Structure formats: C-alpha cells, structure tokens
Structure 1
Amino acid sequence: MPVAVAERPPQQRGGPGGDAPARASRRRPRLYLLDGIRLLAALMVVLHHFAGTHRADRPGNVIWDRPVSELMPSVFRVASFGWIGVEIFFVISGFVICMSCWGRTPKDFFVSRVIRLYPAYWFAVLFTTAVLVLLPGVQERLRLREVLFNLTMLQAGSDVPHVDPVYWTLWSELRFYLLFLVVVAMGLTYRRVVVFCCVWGAAAMLAPVSDFPLLTLVADPSAAWYFIAGLALYLMHRFGQDLLLWGILAMSWLMGQLELGERVEYEQVSSWRGAVVIFTAFMLLMVAVALGYTDRIRWRWLVTAGCLTYPLYLTHYLAGIVVIHHLRGTMDPRLLVAGLVAGFLVLSWLVHRFVERPVARALKKGLESSFVRLRGFQRAA
C-alpha cells in the first residue's frame, strides 16, 4: 500500500460529474497522517499475533509456555483487538490506490504495483523460510516447490499454502487491483469511481447467497466494503462531500460491521462492540483526513513510519513466534514482545533501505524499457 501526494480537486468544467478524467490544478500537501495510521495498524496486527490470539492463549500452546492472558493480562486485553488493523489497511488501500493512480495510464498503474509489492515480498518469503530452516520445531516449512511458487504472490489462487499465513491479505489486494484496473483503463472520473463502488458493492452483497463461486472469488465480499469505503473517502477528499458519498460510506460501515462480527467469531478473543467502536473511531479519523482537517500535520518522521509498514507486516509473524518460542522463559514476556517489535522495526527499515529501494529502481527501469520495446513492435506492426 503506497503513500502518494494528494492533489487539489478541480473546480472547473462541470465539476465532479464530468466524463473526462479530472486533473489537478495545483498540488495539495502530502497526507502525512496516513503514514502514521498505516504504521499504527501494522503495530496492532503485530501485537495481536504475538500476544492477543486464541492460539497464543490456549494452554500448552507452542508460542508461550502458558496462556498469554495469564502471562500479561493487560497486554492481552489490548492486543486481542489488533486484528482490526487488517480492515484498516484495506480502507487506506482503497483511498491511496485511487489517489496515486488518478490521471495515470494502466501501464503506470501496473508498474507502480509491481515495484511496490514484490521487492519486500520476495525478501519476506526467503527470510521467513530461512528462519524456519534454522529454528525448526515450531512451524513446519513448506516444500521447496511451494516456497518458489509463493514468490509469484499467486499461491492463494492455485490452492498452494502460504509461506506465512499473513500473506492472505495480499490476495484480496490483488483482486482489488485487477478490478480497479478496469476503471483506470477507462480513465478515472468521479462518476466512474462511484459506479464502480456501486457495482462492486452489489456484487459483494449478492455473492454469499448466489452459490456462484466465481462471483464470490471476484467480488471478495469479506473485504470489498472496506476498499469501497476508502474509494468514497478519496472522492470526498478530491471533490468534496455530498449525500451520495456519505451514503456509500454509511453502507460500507454497515456492511463492514457485519464482517467484523464474523471476524470476532473467528478470532474468539474480542467482542463485537469493542471492534465496532475501534473501527468507527478509525473511520471518523479517515473522514477528518478526507475533509482536510488533518492537513496541518506535517511531521517528516511519519514518512519513514509509513515506509516501515509493509516490510513489518510481511516479516513479523512466523519469524516472530519462532523467536518467542525459543526465548520464552529467558526474560519477562512483555520485555520480549517489546524487544521483538523493536527488532522487526529495525529490520523493516533495513529492508526498505537496502532491498525495496534499489530493487524497485531496477524493476522500474526494466519494466519501462520493456513497455517501450512493446510499443516499438506495435508501431512496426
């Protein structure tokens, strides 16, 4: 999930309903707060996996030597709601993807997604596999051919296990990108994005009762409404609020709270009311971002915080619980969790600095050359 610079909404030539792709008249300040929210969401997920899951709270679990609710009850009560960070990711992704590809071509969109997603992901697959090889006995590692297939990021669509279970969210992201690519190819306008939200929402609503697996696969009803909320919020940010956008946002909240209830039943450690309160508070914060109330927040360190989010999410889970298993009993569990989180933050910065940035530059250069060559063949034909 990238972070891009927002643009000033156009105010001329027919307003938001025009069919031509709208272009900004001047630049708006970077939305620094989004970077901070992304890192906060990632830390929520990390804390949940280390100290707030049902698996970690079962007697005799392989992570801790005792139920985590006994080892650190206060941390457990907070961490048990950390899974909501994933839903927060999806909302921010809808907002940022719409923002970053406005006025760009499908080629630009494709290149930006490849160079953003794959470098850190390739490192995470190899890093996690190496940890499972070097520290066995906690989680069985996949066979080599399955690890290699994971490098495609398409394993969920081929029924191949994930190297790390947290990769399941990437499958939802990829489906969102493919769907939104259709709108990007047509040219982004207010009207087309609104229609996309309505059509996708209708498909997500019908999919669970349709008994049509392909519709369920494409519509992704468990995540669709969070992405739709992000798209509506960005339209508010770019074009201003109106009743239609508030209606889409309200529908997204209503459908989202139902999905939250299902997640609560799956997680078995938190309450529906608490989850809805946290998610609602986040949505209100995103409304404040969309309407410009947080534009004065321009702390430079938030940019670095945002860069840590993706590597942190990809690397922390299996490697982290393996380390916890081997070090439990050697120190206070709260100190162990804090040290582990700090260690993964440092690792995330190193991945961003020495993996993501150089590999992304090389990938972008290669892809741009490939598309130039492709256009050359097209002209020759």
Structure 2
Amino acid sequence: MTTTPPHRRFDRLPSLSGLRWFAALLVFTTHFVHLELSKGSPLQDVLDTVLTRTGLAGVSAFFLLSGFVLTWSARPSDTARSFLRRRFARVYPSHLLVAGLAALLMAGGGLLPGPKPILANLLLVQSWSPSQTYSLSLNPVTWSLSCEIFFYLVFPLVIGAMNRARTSSLQVFTGASFLATLVLPAIVGRLFTVAHPPAEELVDTSGYGGPFTGWFANVFPGMRLLEFLAGVSIAILVRRGAWPRIPAGWAFAILAAGYANELWLDGYLQLVGGVEIPVAILIASLAQADLAGSWSPVRGRRAAKLGELTYAFYLVHFLVLIGLGSAVKPLAVALGATADRDAPVPVWLLLAAYPVLLAVALGLGWAVHRGVEQPIMRVLTRGRRKTGTGRTELVPLRVDTTALSGGADGPGATGTGPEREKPAPIGI
C-alpha cells in the first residue's frame, strides 16, 4: 500500500486491481470460516457473525468491477467477436483445467456429481438452475463465473447504447438498478418457488427466503446482471465527471458502515443489501483517486501483482481449502492440541492454518496464471491490431478531469507530460 506523488495520474486505475485482490481475499476468508475448524467454541460463533458475509461483499465487488473495467478499457471499433474471443481466452482454459482437478479430487472422495451437473459446470451454465446440484457442482465457486459469462455476452449488446445515453438517464438507471436489487427478489419470491425442494441443501437457504429466493437473489445471472450494468453505468458517469467525488478514506468508511448494517439484515437482503451501494461508491472513488493522483490505500505494485492473480486464485482457492483444510483437525490431534477430531482447534493453530492455506492457494493460482492463463491468452489473441510500440490500442478516454481535480491546472488536468500513463486494459 502506497501513497502517490501529488501530480501523478494513473489512467491504468491500479487501485481497482488492488481492490480486486482484496475482494478475492474476502471470499477466501469466508470460505475459510465455513470450514468450521473451531466449531463448538465461542470463537466460531464470533467468526460466523462477523466474517461469514465478507465473501458476499467480495462477489458484489467482482460484478460491479467487471462492468466498470470492461467499459473503461473498451477498444475502438471493437467487434463482439474479438471481445468474446479475448474473454474466452482469459477465462475458459483455466476453468477447464481447474474443473478437471476438482473432478479428480471429488472422485477420490466418492463425491463426483452426475454427468449432467458436470456438463453444466464445464459449459458454465450451471447458475441458471435453482438446484444446487447444478449451481454448486464440481468447483462450486464457478457459479459466479457462470454469471460473468452471461455478462460478457450481454456487454457488446448494450455498451454502445449506454455510451450514447444521456447523463441523467444513466444516473436514473444506476439508482433503479440498486433499487431493483433490493426489492425484486421479494416480489419474484412471492410468485415462484421450487417445485421439488431438496431434502438437504449444500448451502442452507432458509435464512435467505428459501431455495428459490436464495437462488434468485444470489446466483441467478439475470439478477446479478443488474450489478454488472450498474458498473458499466458508473464507469461512464465517472468518465464524464458526473459522479460525486468522494475521497477514498470516506468511501472505505461508508463501506464499513454498510457492512456493519449488513450484519443486522435478514432474509435475502443480507446477501448484498448492505454493501452493494457502498461498494459502488468505493469503486468510483478509487477510480477518481487514480485519475486525480490523490491518495489511495490499495494502490501499489504488490496489490497490482496480486490483482493479476485474482482470477486463477479464485478458481483454485476452494479446492485448496477443502483438500488441505480437512487435514487441520487431524493435525491438531496428532500434535496433542485437541483430544479428538470433533473438538475445536485452538486459536494458535487457526491463526497458523489461515496464512498457510492462503499461501498454498496463491502458489497454485500463480502456477495456473503463468502456466495456463497467460500463454493461452498470447496464443488466442495473437492476431489483434497493435500500435507501433507493440501495445494493444485502446479507446481514448475523454475524462472530465476538471471535475475530479477542481480545475484545469490541478493534478488531474489532461496533458501529455512524461508522467501521464496511457490507458491499458484491466479486467476481471
């Protein structure tokens, strides 16, 4: 984490790369808590109360960020075909590899799902089913990737119209998308239900309004599309200087207050009800901070490097937690820290297990990123038109920097000086 020189601009928006990493870390933390290594102790109750919803905030950040950064880094005269080819090269080969690893792990434990759920997972259409046998099949975390694939298909259809829309229309649309996220599941949940609810769910949805409402509010791609489109709209508003300027420190305070409020919400509202708007405010605030060269706590080389690993890390982290996390309690018994496997592990072992599992997930994510994601991206996107310097040409950003910096001569002023960086793609 670093501060920046007062007059340097960052059109690459490195703070959003850093934020992407911290969002992934929140998801990892939630899944670590769900291992219930301290089950039966007051500590587990505290962890369940305070940390079990951090992953929900992280996923909401992913969806909003996805719309924002795809809009920000859109290329001139890009076609739907070339856009989808880049997205396919980025996400599918790594997904296919990790799905194979998940199948081997589950087969070893006798938990391999049937051929239809496996096929749905491989094709990334599993989130369209309210049955957790499908939506959480094979590598369960890829339900969100199933949503992302849908977003990618929608993006070329809407970006032109949203770029041409009036600022006032985008502002109304953004507010309406937030409102729909809060109220639409309640309306739909009263009209529909799952015809044959399962006797036992992989993830209990009783606290979210039942199988259908829990799925519709959290997993259904059509519902989560609202967050993605809100991210698209906010990116355009920030570019036009039409989004309120909120300092990064205040934006983080708003997010903390939103998360604290989320802990008190009931039903499906606890999924994103308290954090969606604060997360959107934070994303816009960090982008504005980068454009204006003002302070940002998540801007720095380390955060940016970790941000590059986020996708691969996200794909593998759950498998690491399930595969190695299950060994923590037997280890506690072997070390004499607990009497049996049903006893909660001591705090010191819990604190030791977290960074070890995180490091393993990061290492495996790095291997997938460097060994699969990057090479295949180079191969499948080799034919793109490039600039004379060999860098991919991007959409020229027309950013109203006077709205960000307070004047044409301020730190956010448009210029071509040596410290001004060219825009470059950042993606989820």
State the TM bucket, normalised to the shorter chain: 0.5 to 0.7
What letter is aligned with 2:51? A
Please state if 1:29 is matched with 2:11. yes
Q: What whole-Å deviation, never above 9, does each CA across 1:151-184 have from its counterpart, x for those lacking one?
A: 2212334774521221221232233222222124
- Partner of 1:5 in structure 2? none
TM-score, normalised to structure 1, is: 0.66
Q: Distance in 1 between matches of 2:168 and 2:83?
A: 16
Measure how far apart 1:44 and its partner are: 0.6
Kept in 1, the 8 Å contact 2:53–2:271? The answer is: no
Q: Which amino acid aligns with 2:81?
A: K
Say whether 1:174 aligns with 2:149: yes
For 1:106, which of 76, 80, 98 is the aligned residue? 80
Alignment of 1:124-273 (within 5 A): 124-134=98-108, 136=109, 140-143=111-114, 146-157=117-128, 160-161=134-135, 162-184=137-159, 188-191=163-166, 194=169, 198=173, 201=177, 209=187, 220=221, 222-241=223-242, 265=266
**What is the distance in 1 between the residues matched to 2:168 and 2:142?**
27
Counterpart of 2:399 in structure 1 is none
Moved more, 148-157 or 189-198: 189-198
**1:93 alignment partner in structure 2:** 66
Aligned counterpart, 1:48: 30
Residue 308 of structure 2 corresponds to which residue in structure 1?
A: 307
1:67 and 2:39 aligned: yes
SS of the residue aligned with 2:112?
coil
C-alpha distance in 2, partners of 1:177/1:273? 23
**Contact map agreement 1:72 1:333 (CA 8 A) in 2:** no
Which segment drifts farther, 288-297 or 84-93? Answer: 288-297
- Mind listing any 5+ residue stretches in structure 1 that lack a counterpart? 1-26, 58-63, 244-252, 369-381
Q: Which residue of 2 aligns with 1:121?
A: 95
1:346-357 equivalent positions in 2, closer than 5 A: 346-357=363-374
1:82 equivalent in structure 2: 54
Query: Hey, what's the Cα distance between the residues in 2 that align with 1:361 and 1:193?
Result: 40
Instruction: Give the alignment partner of residue 286 of structure 2, picking from 285, 289, 314.
Output: 289
Deviation for aligned residue 1:358? 0.9
342, 348, 359: which one aligns with 2:359? 342
| CA distance 1:285–1:261, shift in 2 (3 Å) | closer
* Amino acid in structure 1 at the alignment position of 2:364: L
Query: Alpha-carbon deviation of 1:272?
Result: 5.3
Counting aligned pairs with the same residue, the percent is 27
Contact 2:17 2:304 in 1 (8 A): yes
Assess if the C-alpha contact under 8 Å between 2:170 and 2:237 holds in 1. Answer: no
Looking at structure 2, the residues matched to 274 and 171 of structure 1 have their Cα atoms a distance apart, in angstroms, of 18
Q: 1:105, CA displacement in angstroms?
A: 2.3
Matched residues in 1 for 2:319 and 2:288: separation?
Answer: 39
Q: Which amino acid in 2 is paired with 1:127?
A: L
Rounded Cα–Cα distance in structure 1 between residues aligned with 2:359 and 2:180: 42
- Do the aligned residues in 1 keep the contact of 2:309 with 2:369 (CA within 8 Å)? yes
Asked whether the 8 Å contact 1:91–1:230 carries over to 2, the reply is yes
Runs of 4+ in structure 1 displaced over 6 angstroms? 202-208, 260-263
User: What's the C-alpha RMSD, in Å, of the aligned pairs?
Assistant: 4.2
Distance 1:318 1:351, change over 3 A: closer
Amino acid at match of 2:92: Y
State the alpha-carbon separation in 1 of the partners of residues 140 and 373 from structure 2: 22
Higher relative contact order (CA closer than 8 Å, sequence separation 6+): 2
Whether the aligned pair in 2 keeps the contact of 1:95 and 1:230 (CA below 8 Å) is yes
- Any conservation in 1 of the 2:49–2:263 contact (CA below 8 Å)? no
Structure 2: how far apart are the matches of 1:228 and 1:47? 27
TM-score normalised by the chain length of structure 2: 0.60
Structure 1 residues 321 and 71 mapped into 2: Cα distance closer, same or farther (>3 Å)? farther
Secondary structure in 2 aligned to 1:290?
helix
Alpha-carbon distance, 1:306 to partner: 0.9
1:274 and 1:187 map into 2 onto residues whose CA distance is: 24
Cα gap change, 1:221/1:194 in structure 2, threshold over 3 Å: closer, same or farther? farther
Per-residue deviation, 1:344: 0.1
Structure 2: gaps (5+ residues):
1-8, 194-215, 245-253, 333-348, 386-428
Q: The residue matched to 2:309 in structure 1 has which SS? A: helix
- Give, in angstroms, the shift of residue 116 of structure 1: 1.7
Conservation of the 8 A alpha-carbon contact between 1:127 and 1:315: no
- Other structure's SS at 1:30 match: coil
Q: How many residue pairs were aligned?
A: 310
